């Protein structure tokens, strides 16, 4: 086979993948053209990756070509150097050194009928994936010289026809989904008309409404409580300053009584609100309820313009379409709607009493009425020391100090005693007293002792008169200022512990609760009832449709058992398939179990002849066709990526020993297409039910809609049998109803519908087994001959390993369970049809030679 029969490089590189170029090419495109084309290929900003296939003995000669790849800025290069069997050393230039470049040395081989190009093609596909490219380049930077021989084990997922029955089962499951608990719908996820029912906010048009008029029962209590708090705050500000201590400004203030009044008024307001909640606790607002609320001081406006009963069902329709459009199955959508129904169901304002107790319950009122002691002056040892020091300072005035020093102590003690008498937690008449302490005694004793010591010191020092006068003045001023500071701090501390201003916060919370209750439990009661009933009706319909779809798939699975009974069972009807009863438990490790089945599947569209589809679906595994090659074990899990831009090489080409080809068995392209058809048809069915829900949600007839779903399932299954669902449903092609077209726009786009060649699947279980966390070099195949093994490093710690899997496999139907136990360092690629292990084995230090620039030749 000619080395150019199978192209090594992809004809069209995928976006974001490394740009591939082959410097071995000669003829129409020489090496310069290849580099020029590579530089012209667009790459994501800041990332320039080049995968170069070159001959191992021309790396030095192509040095300038490699330098040109970095001419537009920093570039990363991975060179796949193809060596001959007789090569025993490798020469490379400085340009191909880490961290910006690295070399993978592979040896050309045509053993066992496998041409060298058949080895390079899948290797290039793997290495051009950006995630694998980066991981390999990092690994090459950790090995000697940045050169390694790859040892590989790769699974290639090619595209073939697949078992339609399994795809059908998956499509039905994708439409219906499993049973799930009630979901959670937040106000941000629903249309505006429904968001008003969920977020407990107030419509803008009602923002200025006065819910508790001052002349009403509750409003008057609110005003009295607010005034009581205001009077207490005013008294506090009169007491806390110097005037409160040194003058009689605070004598007329009775803060304990004011706080007691605040607690009483707050309790009365809370009782009035609780009375209103209990009196109008129905689930629907009536004229009688309005009168009851008005008598209790709550004035309700008319229903705001932002919401109405007429807008609820259209909003439910938009929400249902949005959830289905996001890919949620019917049962998940039903769970969300059930949650919406439960959250919007009116329960009456009496249910708000528990919240009212949490805001203003007995415990909170008890804290407000509690008495707190008044303490000033800080710690007693500190007061003794500070006063003694100030008295000592005043006593250093010769002769006069014997009187001034002790006088300072007496002044400090007198101010402390004054603070105790005028403490804010004591009523003027003594009726309420929280007690207190200001440290007068320590100040007195400290001042007397300090004054006498200072007087003796002043007599000994004989300071001038002016010095003693200054010291005495500073001492007296300090005593007064410290007393004022201690008074202000103590008053503020006592006020913070009593915290009568908390009543204002409680009032605001109760007012907010009244507004929320008035809007959502009284004004919106009728709308909430309509929304709850409508959402519940749609949820019930969706569950009924899901049950119908599940039941529709069961008869086909049951009829499959007739095939095992022999020819007398007769052929299955049109639409029944021989593989419909397939289950996960049917897979076995015994290759003999899959001999006939593999022949029945064939190798792809080209294997097919006239009547092949009929043979496949009639279950004629007993009559293998000679023109079909045995397939690998079909995979139980699909992969979303169907392959590269120009497709895989022909299946007639033998694969190298390290490459295992597996054929899809119903991948995402097919299943998603079928689910899209079923979802779009289900939306059309739902569009016929909204008018009935608007009239009477409880009278919704489900039988007719379930019959329409059965017809949709039959039609979709027939198209699956006919052309693997490659053609769009005919009912959509001729659709002209603008409303129906609008409904479908969010779910399907028929312009890019995949053809039959893309409706395939791939395996993920074998990949998970291949990527087990244990590092077993025996699972990989070195891309060199036995004669080259002595060139490799035998240090087991020197090799580096890159495990890679397409990210799409992890998001398959099996979830993350199949990946448990795999290595944590797996590289998850964004796309591709390959998964496996690249083990980079370094060479001995004397095998690789680095040639400097002056030694390199021209390309």
DSSP codes of every residue in 677-690: HHHHHHHHHHHTTH
The verdict on residue 28 lying in a domain is yes
Same structural domain for residues 519 and 493? no
| CB atoms inside a 10 Å sphere around CB 679 | 23
Cβ distance 571 to 556 under 8 Å?
no
Q: What integer is the mean pLDDT of 564-582?
A: 33
Same structural domain for residues 260 and 203? yes
Which is higher by pLDDT, 489 or 163? 489
For β-strands 834-842 and 147-158, DSSP reports them as antiparallel
Q: Which tens digits make up the pLDDT trace of 474-486?
A: 888 898 888 888 8
Same structural domain for residues 64 and 152? yes
pLDDT over 50 at 573, yes or no: no
The verdict on residue 724 lying in a domain is no
The verdict on residue 588 lying in a domain is no
Report residue 558 as tokens. 């049951």
pLDDT over 70 at 556, yes or no: no
Cβ distance 289 to 256 under 8 Å?
no
Same structural domain for residues 314 and 384? no
Note down the domain range covering 81: 19-163+771-855
The verdict on residue 33 lying in a domain is yes
Same structural domain for residues 786 and 812? yes
pLDDT at 625: 29
Same structural domain for residues 269 and 364? yes
Q: What integer is the mean pLDDT of 454-470?
A: 77
Same structural domain for residues 469 and 527? no
- Give φ, ψ of 836 to 5 degrees: 165, -150
pLDDT at 224: 93
The verdict on residue 583 lying in a domain is no
Query: DSSP letter at 772?
Result: B
Q: Which tens digits make up the pLDDT trace of 412-458?
A: 888 888 888 888 888 888 788 888 888 888 888 888 888 788 877 77
pTM score of the predicted model: 0.52
Identify the domain boundary among 498, 519, 553. Answer: 498
pLDDT at 370: 87
Number of domains into which the chain is organized: 3
Range in 197-206, 220-229, 508-517 the model is least confident about: 197-206
Same structural domain for residues 259 and 328? yes
Tell me the range of 304-313, 544-553, 597-606 where mean pLDDT is highest: 544-553
- Give φ, ψ of 391 to 5 degrees: -65, -40
The verdict on residue 763 lying in a domain is no
The verdict on residue 733 lying in a domain is no
Write down the mean pLDDT value for the chain. Answer: 75
Q: Which tens digits make up the pLDDT trace of 127-141?
A: 998 999 999 999 999
Same structural domain for residues 467 and 512? no
Which is higher by pLDDT, 667 or 227? 227
Q: What integer is the mean pLDDT of 77-102?
A: 91
Cβ distance 404 to 394 under 8 Å?
yes
Q: What integer is the mean pLDDT of 826-832?
A: 75
Q: How confident is the model at residue 307 (pLDDT cuts 50, 70, 90)?
A: confident
pLDDT over 70 at 272, yes or no: yes
The verdict on residue 293 lying in a domain is yes
Q: Which tens digits make up the pLDDT trace of 529-551?
A: 889 899 999 999 999 999 999 98
Report residue 386 as tokens. 């500070």
pLDDT at 184: 76
Same structural domain for residues 366 and 243? yes
CA-based nearest residue to 504, from 358, 359, 357: 359
Measure the CA–CA gap between 305 and 312, rounded to whole angstroms.
Answer: 13
Q: What integer is the mean pLDDT of 746-754?
A: 49
Which is higher by pLDDT, 335 or 246? 335
User: By three-state DSSP, how is residue 834 classified?
Assistant: strand
Show the DSSP H helices in 602-701 as ranges. 612-618, 668-687, 690-695
Same structural domain for residues 265 and 289? yes
Same structural domain for residues 382 and 363? no
pLDDT at 180: 82
């Amino acid at each position: 086979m000619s080395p150019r029969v199978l192209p090594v490089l992809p004809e069209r590189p995928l976006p974001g993948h490394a740009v591939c170029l082959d410097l071995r090419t000669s003829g129409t495109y020489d090496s310069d053209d290849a580099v020029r084309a590579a530089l012209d290929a667009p790459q994501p900003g800041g990332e320039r990756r080049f995968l170069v296939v070159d001959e191992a003995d021309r790396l030095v000669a192509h040095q300038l070509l490699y330098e040109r790849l970095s001419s537009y800025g920093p570039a990363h290069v991975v060179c796949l150097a193809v060596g001959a069997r007789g090569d025993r050393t490798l020469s490379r230039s400085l340009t191909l050194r880490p961290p910006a470049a690295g070399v993978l040395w592979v040896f050309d081989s045509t053993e066992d009928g496998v041409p060298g190009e058949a080895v390079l093609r899948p290797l290039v596909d793997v290495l051009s994936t950006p995630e694998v490219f980066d991981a390999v380049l990092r690994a090459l930077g950790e090995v000697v010289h940045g050169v390694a021989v790859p040892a590989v084990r790769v699974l290639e997922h090619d595209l073939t026809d697949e078992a339609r029955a399994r795809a059908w089962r998956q499509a039905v499951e994708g439409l219906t989904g499993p049973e799930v608990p009630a979901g959670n719908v937040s106000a941000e996820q629903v249309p505006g008309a429904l968001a008003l029912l969920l977020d407990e906010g107030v419509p803008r048009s009602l923002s200025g409404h006065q819910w508790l008029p001052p002349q009403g029962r509750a409003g008057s209590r609110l005003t009295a409580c607010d005034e009581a708090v205001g009077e207490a705050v005013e008294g506090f500000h009169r007491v806390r300053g110097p005037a409160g201590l040194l003058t009689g400004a605070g004598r007329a203030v009775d803060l304990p009584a004011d706080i007691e009044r605040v607690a009483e008024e707050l309790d009365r307001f809370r009782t009035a609100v609780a009375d209103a909640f209990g009196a109008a606790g129905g689930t629907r607002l009536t004229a009688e309820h309005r009168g009851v609320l008005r008598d209790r001081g709550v004035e309700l406006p008319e229903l705001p313009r932002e919401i109405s009963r007429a807008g609820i069902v259209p909003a439910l329709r938009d929400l249902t379409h949005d959830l289905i459009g996001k890919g949620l199955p019917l049962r998940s959508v039903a769970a969300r709607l059930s949650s919406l129904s439960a959250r919007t169901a009116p329960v009456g304002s009496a249910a708000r009493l528990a919240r009212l107790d949490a805001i203003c319950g007995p415990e909170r009122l008890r804290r407000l009425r509690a008495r707190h002691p008044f303490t000033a002056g800080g710690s007693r040892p500190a007061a003794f020391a500070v006063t003694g020091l100030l008295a000592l300072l005043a006593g250093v005035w010769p002769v006069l100090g014997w009187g001034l020093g002790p006088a300072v102590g007496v002044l400090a003690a007198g101010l402390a005693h004054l603070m105790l008498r005028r403490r804010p937690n004591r009523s003027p008449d003594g009726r309420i007293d929280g007690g207190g302490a200001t440290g007068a005694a320590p100040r007195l004793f400290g001042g007397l002792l300090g004054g006498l010591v200072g007087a003796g010191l002043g007599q000994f020092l004989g300071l001038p008169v002016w010095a003693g006068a200054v010291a005495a003045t500073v001492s007296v001023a300090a005593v007064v200022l410290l007393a004022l500071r201690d008074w202000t701090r103590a008053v503020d501390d006592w006020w913070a512990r009593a915290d009568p201003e908390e009543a204002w916060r409680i009032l605001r919370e109760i007012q907010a609760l009244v507004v929320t209750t008035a809007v959502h439990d009284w004004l919106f009661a009728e709308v909430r009832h309509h929304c709850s009933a409508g959402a519940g009706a749609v949820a019930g319909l969706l569950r009924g449709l899901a049950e119908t779809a599940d039941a529709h798939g069961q008869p086909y699975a049951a009829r499959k058992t007739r095939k095992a009974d022999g020819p007398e069972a007769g052929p299955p009807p049109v639409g029944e398939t021989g593989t419909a009863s397939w289950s996960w438990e049917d897979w076995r490790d015994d290759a003999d179990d899959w001999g006939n089945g593999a022949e029945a599947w064939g190798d792809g569209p080209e294997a097919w002849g006239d009547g092949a589809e009929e043979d496949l679906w009639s279950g004629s595994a007993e009559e293998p066709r000679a023109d079909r090659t045995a397939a690998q074990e079909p995979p139980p899990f699909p992969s979303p990526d169907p392959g590269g831009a120009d497709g895989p090489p022909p299946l007639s080409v033998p694969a190298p020993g390290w490459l295992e080809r597996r054929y899809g068995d119903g991948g995402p392209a097919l299943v998603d297409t079928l689910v899209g058809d079923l979802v779009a048809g289900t939306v059309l069915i739902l569009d016929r039910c909204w008018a009935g829900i608007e009239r009477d949600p409880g009278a919704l007839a489900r039988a007719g809609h379930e019959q329409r779903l059965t017809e949709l399932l039959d039609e979709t299954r027939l198209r699956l049998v006919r052309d693997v669902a490659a053609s769009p449903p005919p009912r959509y092609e001729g659709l002209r109803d603008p409303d129906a077209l609008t409904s479908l726009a969010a779910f399907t786009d028929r312009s890019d519908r995949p053809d039959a060649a893309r409706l395939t699947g791939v395996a993920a279980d074998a990949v998970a087994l291949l990527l087990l966390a244990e590092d077993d070099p025996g699972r990989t195949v070195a891309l060199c001959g036995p004669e080259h093994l002595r060139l490799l490093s035998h240090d087991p710690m020197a090799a580096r390993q890159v495990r890679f899997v397409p990210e799409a496999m992890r998001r398959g139907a099996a979830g993350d369970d199949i990946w448990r136990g795999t290595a944590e360092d797996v590289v998850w690629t964004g796309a591709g049809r390959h998964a496996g292990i690249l083990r980079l084995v370094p060479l001995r230090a004397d095998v690789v030679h680095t040639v400097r620039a002056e030694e390199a030749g021209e390309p």
